[in-house]
């Protein structure tokens, strides 16, 4: 079963995110209380739980939120998904908007490990419909559903 393993937010960009048990996703905005929320295509950042666990087996001492991710989700094969695919998370729906990202500077994780998984495995989404989400909520895939339908 696919599910939310962690929810993380921070009030300022460039600071570690704090784990929360519940949060509210606002349509067209992102996670309430998170500095990266706003009117753009990367309202919510996601990392697969399995990629974080693999990175930990390589010796990385990282906590959820250390990569700047908002959601840690298990059981989803993001490599099989496409831009525009949707995820239903708790009461909310997300639409995938970007895979990976360019890191313009080396983060603490890269400095200590010589690698960072966010550029390769990070996934970004827009909030299509808002609602409350909680750690442990099921995540359902709704592939190929265009915006507005």
pLDDT in tens, 113-148: 555 656 577 899 999 999 999 999 999 988 554 433
pLDDT tens sequence across 42-62: 999 999 999 889 888 888 788
Q: Provide the b/e sequence for 11-41 (b: ≥16 CB within 10 Å).
A: eeeeeebeebeebbbbeebbbeebbbbeeee
What pLDDT does residue 111 have?
57
Residues 6+ apart with CB under 8 A from 55: 62, 113, 115, 117
Angstrom distance (rounded) from CA 9 to CA 113: 24
pTM, 2 dp: 0.87
**Whether the predicted pLDDT of 81 surpasses 60:** yes
Angstrom distance (rounded) from CA 38 to CA 35: 8
What pLDDT does residue 26 have?
98
**Whether the predicted pLDDT of 1 surpasses 80:** yes
């Amino acid at each position: 079963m696919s599910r939310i393993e962690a929810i993380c937010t921070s009030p300022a960009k460039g600071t570690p995110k704090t784990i929360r048990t519940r949060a509210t996703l606002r349509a067209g905005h992102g996670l309430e209380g998170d500095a990266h929320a706003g009117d753009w295509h990367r309202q919510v950042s996601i990392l697969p739980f399995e990629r974080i666990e693999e990175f930990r087996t390589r010796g990385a001492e990282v906590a959820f939120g250390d990569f700047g991710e908002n959601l840690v989700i298990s059981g989803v094969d993001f490599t099989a998904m496409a831009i525009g695919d949707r995820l239903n998370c708790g009461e909310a729906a997300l639409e995938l908007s970007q895979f990976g990202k360019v890191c313009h500077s080396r983060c603490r994780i890269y400095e200590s490990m010589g690698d960072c998984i966010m550029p390769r495995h990070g996934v970004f989404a827009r909030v299509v419909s808002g609602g409350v989400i909680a750690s442990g909520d099921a995540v359902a895939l709704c592939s190929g559903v265009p915006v507005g339908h």
